[in-house]
Amino acid sequence: MKLPLPLLQSLQDVAGFDEKAFTAVHESGEQVTSIRFNPAKTGIKNKEWPGGDLIHASPLTTHVPWSSSGYYLPERPSFTFDPLFHAGSYYVQEASGMFLEQALQQTVDLSQPLRVLDLCAAPGGKSTLLQSLINKESLLVSNEVIKSRAAILEENITKWGAPNVIITNNDPAHFARLENYFDVIVIDAPCSGSGLFRRDPEAINEWSENNVQLCSQRQQRIIANVWPALKQNGTLIYSTCSYSSEEDEHILDWMNEGFKVEGVRLQIEREWQIIETIATNHQAYGYRFYPDKVKGEGFFIAVLKKRDGGAFAGLKSIKDNLEKLSNSETAIVKPWLQEASDFILFKQKAGIIAVPSCLQKEMAVLQSALYIKKAGVTAGKLAGKDLIPDHQLALSTIINKNIAHITLNRQEAIQYLRKEEMRIDTTYKGWALVVYEGNNLGWIKILPNRFNNYYPKEWRIIKQPA
C-alpha cells in the first residue's frame, strides 16, 4: 500500500500524527472487525458471540472501550451466513465510529424526549446507534439524500426493529423548512475518505488534494443548509472519516466565524489514545482517531452547541392527512402488536403503519415538510377480516410476543433465508414466525400440505457458502 505523498506531507504538523507508525499500520495488512449488539434484541448473553460456530465460539473478551455494546471479533466471519445478522441482532460497525455514543451521552440529556436528525445516514450504522441511546418517546429522523443509498438504509433500520424512526430522502436544504425543530443534528459528512485507506485500499486511487477541497466546500454547504433546523442550545455532532484538516479543524474554524456556536470538550480516557485537537481560534475541540493508536479506522468528531435561534414555532400549513383505521380494522391489527394502545395505526397505500402515539404530531409536521420514505413499522395489509403480516412487523420490537412461532436450527435458518425447500414438523396451521436463537427472521404460512416462505425475495441469501 502506497499512501499519497501529498496526504503525508499535509499531516506533518497535525496533532498526533506519527508518520512512521501511521505508514507501518497501513502496510501491515491488519484488519479490525467490530460489531455492536442491538440492546432491544439479543443483548449480550455471557459475552458469547451469537454466531458461535462461525468463529469457533470465541468469547467476546475485547470490548470497544468507548461503547456500551460494541465488541471486537478475533476474526471476520462470513456474516452472510449468520442468521442473527439478518435478524438485526447486531450491526457490523467500525469501532471508531462508535464513539458517537460518547459524544451524545456527554452532551445531551437522553432522559428527555428528543428530536434527533441523522442527516447523512446511509447505510445506517450511526442511526441504529442513535436509536439505541434515545428513549422511546424520542424521534429519530434518518435521512439520506441519494435515493439508491436510502434503500440500504431502510433495510438496516427495518432489521433494527424500532418504531420511533422515520426515514426521509431529502436534500439538506429542505430541512430549513423546520426552523429550530431538532434538539440534535448528526452530520457524518461525505468526505475524501482517507480514514478508510486501511480497510479499503482502492480508496487511495480516488483521493486527491483537489477532492479534499471539493469535499470541504460540500461540507460547508451541508452545514449551512441544515443549520436553521437546529434549535437554540441544540447540539451539532460533526464527523468525517478524513485525516485532512481542511475537512476537520478548518470546518470548526469556519463555523466559529460564521455561526454563533460553542465548542464542547469531551472527557476521554488516556488509555483510549484518542487525540484531542483544538481549532485555530481555540473555540472548538476535535477528536482524532489514528489506526496506529486506536483499534479502529481513521475518524474525526466534534460537538458544538448552537447559541442563537429559538424554539420550534410550528409550520404555517400542516397536512394531517393520515388515514386512520376504523374500529373494526383496528381490532384486526391489535392482536399482532405488543401494547397496541401505545400506537396510532393508519393506512399508507395498501399497508397499515404503526407509529408511537407520542409521535402523532411529529408525523403531521414531517410529512408537511419532507419526503418520508418509511415511518414506524409496517404491520401488514388487510385482506377481508384478516391481516397479512409484513416482514417489518416480524423484525420489529413491537410485535406481540405470543404469536405462534417455529424455532429453527442454523442449517434450517439458512435454508429459510435462501428460500430453499425445507421440512417443518408441526401440526400448527396458519401464520407463524420463524425464530432462530430467540430472534425473529420472518414469516411462514403453514398450510395443510405445505408452507409458504414469506422472506423478502430481494433480501434472500444468494451467495454460496465456501
Q: Which residues are catalytic?
A: 241
Q: Which of 237, 229, 234, 224 is nearest to 307 (CA)?
A: 234
Q: Who contacts 352 (Cβ-Cβ below 8 Å, separation ≥6)?
A: 325, 329, 333, 345, 346, 378, 379, 380, 381, 382, 387
Angstrom distances, CA of residue 226 to CA of 56, 78, 139, 178, 317:
47, 38, 17, 9, 20
At residue 300's C-alpha, the angle toward residues 299 and 304, to 5°, is: 150
SS3 state at 318 = coil
Q: Position 158: which residue type?
A: T
Buried b vs exposed e over 429-439: b needs ≥16 C-beta within 10 Å? eebbbbbbbeb
Q: At what angle do helices 147-160 and 125-133 cross, to 10 degrees?
A: 40
The edge-to-edge listing of strands for the beta sheet with 90-92 is 70-73, 33-37, 90-92
Contact 91, 160 (CB under 8 A): yes
Kind of pairing, strands 386-389 and 405-407?
unpaired
Give CA–CA dist 73/56, Å, rounded: 11
